[in-house]
Copies of this chain bind each other. A is one copy, B any other.
Amino acid sequence: MGFKPVKVGICGLGTVGSGTFNVLQRNQEEISRRAGRVIRVEQIGARRPNPLADTNGTQIVADVFAVARNPEIDVVVELIGGCDVARELVLEAIENGKHVVTANKALIAVHGNEIFEAAQRKNVMVAFEASVAGGIPIVKAIREGLAANSINWVAGIINGTGNFILTEMRDKGRAFEDVLAEAQQLGYAEADPTFDVEGIDAAHKLTILASLAFGVPLQFSKAYTEGISKITADDVNYAEQLGYRIKHLGITRRTDAGIELRVHPTLIPEKRLIANVDGVMNAVLVDADAVGPTLYYGAGAGAEPTASAVIADLVDVVRTLTADRDNRVPHLAFHPSRLSDLPMLPMEEVETAYYLRLQAAENPGVLAEITRILADQQISIDAIMQHGTDDQLVPIIILTHVVKEVRMNAAIKAIEALETISGEVTRIRVEILDAN
């Protein structure tokens, strides 16, 4: 216990920066009893103080790069967000021999390969637990807790805003736009909600999870991303009648042909524990060969949950300060010289089951036409539901068995070309999420 305090520089004093500062102060004694030494915030890089954090007595500099160059600082905590400045800042900190902790999912997903290579060269750690699922220690769980396993797949509710919207749509029968407006008022969703509801934020996190699970380089550009803005209250209802819930899932799965990497609305059986994760909460379900399914649940965002992960990383960094580099936990779980070159699978090659909703004219031949098209594409039907209505258009719901996406694309194109079908076919993928 004869170690000197570790000196930390926090860059960015917004919500997460303030939360990190506050938790470090409040739990200082308990954290040092665990870490074996004091973790002290030596300097903060921020344009101005934040009333959310009582930073009196801590030096604040306006230039975050001054923190990365400060010879007194051992660890730089990057909490400014965004990609461009954050990338420069992190690379400069590494170049100066400093360890880095970041909560920045976009930065890691897009520039992680470059950053980890630089860190490897300079013998420093870049820790990023807070970048995926906020306070849930999912990076640690996959990278260390499941180290014995060959992982089959990972499926996660990793965007709280999207899950809040889908939960409200189901619980209260509300429309997507209506709940989104409320989420924006509550501060869950950004003014520009695209990152959340179109699945980009989730795809950043999923990209990181895929690399940790399968030992492949980060490949954000290969992710398939589909948002929840087209889900209707009707779909939520029909799903429920069939025993399913609709969740916006990030799914990554290893197959012999390659790795699936996809974010989209998904029907999952209501009996699955993850189907019952509601509101803004996150959860990640991992299926692995030895342990089977494990699930990790908690707050995926917010000042103090994210701070919890940032500080856990700080403690980890502190602990490895005396460790030989090659004995440290590798950034992407697998040693950099032993990553896999398994390709990412294009969406057309992915195999999954489907929920289809279509509007058909009242016409005795229409079901025959549809089922013929599906049969031509070798798509077999699991369930079919035709709802009575007073309208001239009858909604038809079809659940299919597993088939390759390229075949389903062809079938949908053919169905939409039928004269008896009105508008576009709604297609939502279905995952049973049972153990392999």
**Residues of A in contact with B (beta carbons under 8 Å apart):** 1-3, 19, 23-24, 26-27, 30-31, 33-36, 129, 134-137, 140-141, 143-150, 215, 273, 276-277, 288-299, 304-305, 307-312, 315-316, 318-324, 326-330, 333-335, 337-338
Contacts and interface: CB of A to CB of B under 8 A. Distances in A.
A147 B315 contact: yes
Contact of A337 (B1, B149, B328): B1
A334 B137 CA distance: 19
Given A34-B333, A334-B33, A135 B294 contact: yes
Contact of A315 (B144, B215, B293): B144
21 contacts: A1-B337, A23-B148, A30-B150, A31-B148, A33-B334, A33-B338, A36-B327, A129-B145, A135-B291, A137-B141, A148-B310, A149-B308, A276-B276, A290-B307, A291-B309, A294-B296, A294-B298, A294-B299, A296-B296, A319-B328, A322-B323
Contacts of A319: 323, 327-329
A26 B290 CA distance: 10
Given A145-B312, A319-B327, A298 B297 contact: no
Contacts of A30: 149-150, 215
Contact of A137 (B136, B145, B321): B145
Contact of A335 (B1, B129, B140): B1
Contacts of A322: 323-324, 327
A148 B338 contact: no
B323 A27 contact: no
A208 B295 CA distance: 21
Nearest to A215: B33
Of the listed residues A19, A33, A290, A291, the one surrounded by the most CB atoms of chain B closer than 10 A to its CB is A290
A312 B27 contact: no
